[in-house]
């Protein structure tokens, strides 16, 4: 395939000077490149499927637990009764994680414009303009 003239500093000026045949060749070359890029993207995205599936499972489990707050509370209460020292250790770890989470949220601009804007619930309920 012959090399097509590149766009010059004038932008579309070079394209306007191309013959119909040259334009058709350029169009075919661009379509072939787009198809190759799409195939490459599909192949590369396939490698991400397993970790993304696992992340979806974790998020679904967290949503399930969030809808049933009595279950984690019962587990914590059971741990506190069964092994109070372990419960105290886990409570301190949880407090540390919570404080870290608050600091990270504050650093990343928490509130309406921060991490909450990336919540899956908001993403699914967002309206798409023109639809």
Q: How far apart are CA 75 and CA 56, in angstroms?
A: 24
pLDDT band per the 50, 70, 90 thresholds, residue 100: very high
Residue 131 pLDDT: 46
In angstroms, the CA 84 to CA 86 distance is 5
Percent of the chain residues topping a pLDDT of 70: 71
**Of 14-18, 24-28, 85-89, 116-120, where does mean pLDDT reach its minimum?**
116-120
Q: Is the pLDDT of residue 119 over 90?
A: no
Q: Say if residue 118's pLDDT is above 70.
A: no
- C-beta of residue 14 within 8 angstroms of C-beta of residue 5: yes
pTM across the whole model: 0.42
Going from N- to C-terminal start, the domains of the chain cover 1-48, 84-131
Nearest to 22 by CA among 39, 42, 2, 52: 2
The per-residue pLDDT for 130 is: 52
Residue 12: its pLDDT value, please?
64
Closest to 61 measured CA to CA, from 75, 73, 72, 50: 72
The structure tokens listed for 71 are 């279950």
pLDDT of residue 53: 94
Eight-state DSSP code of residue 108: T
Contact between 80 and 87 (Cβ < 8 Å): yes
Q: Which residues, 6+ apart, have CB-to-CB distance to 115 below 8 Å?
A: 105, 108
Q: How confident is residue 127, by pLDDT bands cut at 50, 70 and 90? A: low
């Amino acid at each position: 395939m012959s090399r097509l003239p590149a766009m010059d500093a004038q932008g579309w000026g070079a394209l306007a000077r191309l013959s119909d045949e040259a334009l058709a060749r350029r169009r075919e070359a661009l379509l072939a490149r787009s198809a190759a890029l799409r195939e490459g993207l599909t192949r590369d995205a396939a490698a991400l499927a397993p970790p993304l599936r696992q992340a979806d499972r974790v998020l679904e489990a967290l949503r399930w637990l969030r809808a049933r707050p009595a279950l984690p509370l019962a587990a914590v209460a059971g741990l506190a009764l069964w092994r109070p020292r372990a419960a105290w250790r886990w409570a301190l770890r949880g407090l540390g994680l919570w404080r870290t989470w608050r600091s990270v949220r504050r650093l990343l601009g928490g509130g309406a414009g921060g991490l909450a804007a990336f919540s899956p619930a908001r993403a699914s309920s967002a309206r798409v303009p023109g639809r």
